[in-house]
Structures are given as C-alpha cells and as structure tokens.
Amino acid sequence: MKIITIEEHVSFPEMEQHLPAEALARKKPSAAAAQMTPKLADIEGERLRTMDECGITMQVLSVESTDVNLLDDHLSPKFAAAYNDKLADNIKAHPDRFAAFAHLPMTAPAAAADELERTVKTYGFKGAMIRGTTHGEFLDAPKFAPILERAEKLDVPIYIHPGMPPQAAIDAYYSNIGGKPGFSEAVGCYGWGWHSETAIHVLRLLAAGTFDKYPKLNIIIGHMGEMLPMMWVRSNRVFQPGRGGENQRSLIDTFHDQLHITTSGLFTQPPLQIALDTIGIDNIMFSIDYPFSTNQMGADFLKEINLSQEDMKKLAYKNAERLLKLG
C-alpha cells in the first residue's frame, strides 16, 4: 500500500546568508528546531533511507523556518522565492518521492499570492504552508485576502501549521512560570499552546465568514485536528449562523466541506477515533511530522490502526492524492 505524508519539514541553514545582519540579530529559533538542524537540511540521506525502510512512498515537504518574517516587506518576496527555488532544486531528482508546499512572504500578501501562483505553475507545488500568525495577525485579517483568493483560484490548499506565539501571548500565558522569568517553549509551543492557537486560527476564519467568502478554499491543519475534534459538538453549538459571527453555515457543515486534518505527531488511537467520529475519514490524511517525529514512529502507528481496507487506503494516500492532485 502506498503511504503519502504531507507535514514533513525542511530547513536549509545556508539560506541565512541571504538575511541582513539586523534580521539575523532578531532570529530566535526554537530549541526543538535547533536540535534538528542536520535532519531538517537532509533530503537524500537519512530522510530518504528511512522512508524506504518504513514503506513511505512520498513526503510533501514544507519549510520549517520563519526567517522570511524577519525581513521588511520589500525584501521578503525575494527571500521566499529563493527558498522555493532551492527547495524545488533539491527535490527535482526524486519527483516520485517528494513534492512541496510553497514558502510565502506573508508580510507582503500580494507578493505572497504571486509567489504561490509561480511555484504552483512553475514547479508543481501543491499549495502553501504558513506558520502561525504573521506579526500577531491571523488569516481572517482583510490584508491576507489576496492569498486566499489566489489559493481558491489555483485550487490548492493552505496548510496552517503552528508557529511561535506572538510576544503578547508569550508575556501573558507562557512567561514567569513558577515565578521564574523566561519563556517556557514547551508550554507555549509543542506541549500545548500553539496547538490551541491553530484551532483558534481556524475558528476565527469560520466566525469571520472567510470559508463562506471562499467556498472552494481548502484549509489543512495537523496534529489530529489541533484539539478541534474534541470540542466538535460544543463548538458547533456555539458557532451557529446568526449567533454573532459572519458564518452562513454551521461549523460541522463548513469543516466537512473545507477543512482537512492530518495525523502528524500524534500516534495513539483515542485522538484518531475522535477525529474519525467527528470530521470523518474522507477529511483525514496520514502524516508524521518528520523529523520531529521519526518515520518509524509513524509507520508503527499506521500498522496498529484497525480500519477497513478502503478506509486505510483513504488515510494512507487516497485523500492526499485527491486533495493535492498527486499521481
């Protein structure tokens, strides 16, 4: 059986040479990403070897770095384009093993929309991944409309991945824990915080009427739905049309039509079962979150899942093939 995974990360340290000194001075890489630098930079070594060992047919790669947001609006488009060119060049020798999501200069939305179109048409990229908020702003802000319009026109999805919390959130929720100064990355990011923020991101798009304004726009989120399946019924009751938001459809109807989730980084049965019971098998795609999770962890989890043969195919590769137009 084919296996396609779509939340798999890369980062190329040599791209830092394109950053001006003042941007490098403001760079604050996460501890987890810093530890994974060699694995993030690798394409044809351990990554491909473990894909072969674990039976993974294809990875859809995305840039883990948020360096582009350190640049002024007039510099970020050129940097994002250079990153996408390098990513395309690094995977071109293995078109049957790797595809990619575009890296966008989110601080310059019109240029980001153009870069999405360029990478889709020039390199066959499968959409774009954005990482959290952009200088504290979510995608429901009107300034990001060009990106959403272009994604809908191109019929490619936007993958919303968690990112570092805005400084205001760090100060309010994730600093001074136990009376000690500093930022607790585990609480604010991969242990809890940025998962709930991504759920809020999607709920904001719903409440703002963004899904209704772009009815053919597809949004992907990872980590078994970023807690949304657990809150499915309660949130659906709260976000009914006419209850203060701009949404014209219920949460359940909207998300069944336009929201897709991946299993990335969660390898136990209970969250998968909740996702199956709520969003449904047709909207779930298998992913690993490499290299922050190993290909072996993902492969072992996939073997434990008890689904019909057809549903297993949907989870493992068919849903990804359909949404991303692979194969």
Residue 16 has pLDDT above 90, yes or no: no
Q: Which helix (H) or strand (E) holds 76?
A: helix 76-91
Per-residue model confidence (pLDDT) at position 327: 78
Domains of the chain, earliest start first: 4-324 (3.20.20.140)
- pLDDT tens by residue, 120-159: 999 999 999 999 999 999 999 999 999 999 999 999 999 9
Q: Cα 240 vs. chain centroid, distance in angstroms?
A: 26
| Contact of 139 with 104, CB cutoff 8 Å | no
> In sequence order, which residues have a C-beta less than 8 Å from that of residue 326 and are 6 or more positions away?
4, 58, 99, 126, 320
| Residue 24: Cβ within 10 Å count | 12
Residue 29 has pLDDT above 70, yes or no: no
**The residue to which tokens 């830092």 are assigned:** 16
Mean pLDDT of the chain: 95
d(CA 327, CA 320): 10
Higher pLDDT, 72 or 320: 320
Q: Are strands 98-100 and 219-221 parallel, antiparallel or unpaired?
A: unpaired
- pLDDT tens by residue, 231-279: 999 999 999 999 999 999 999 999 999 999 999 999 999 999 999 999 9
Nearest to 116 by CA among 137, 99, 95, 102: 102
Per-residue model confidence (pLDDT) at position 67: 85
* 88 CB-contact burial (10 Å; exposed 0-12 / middle 13-18 / buried 19+): middle
Residue 318 has pLDDT above 70, yes or no: yes
Residue 108 DSSP code: S
| Contact of 214 with 153, CB cutoff 8 Å | no
The DSSP bridge partners found for residue 161 are: 131
| Contact of 14 with 45, CB cutoff 8 Å | no
* 191 CB-contact burial (10 Å; exposed 0-12 / middle 13-18 / buried 19+): exposed
pTM for this model (two decimals):
0.96
* pLDDT range class, residue 319, cuts 50, 70, 90: very high
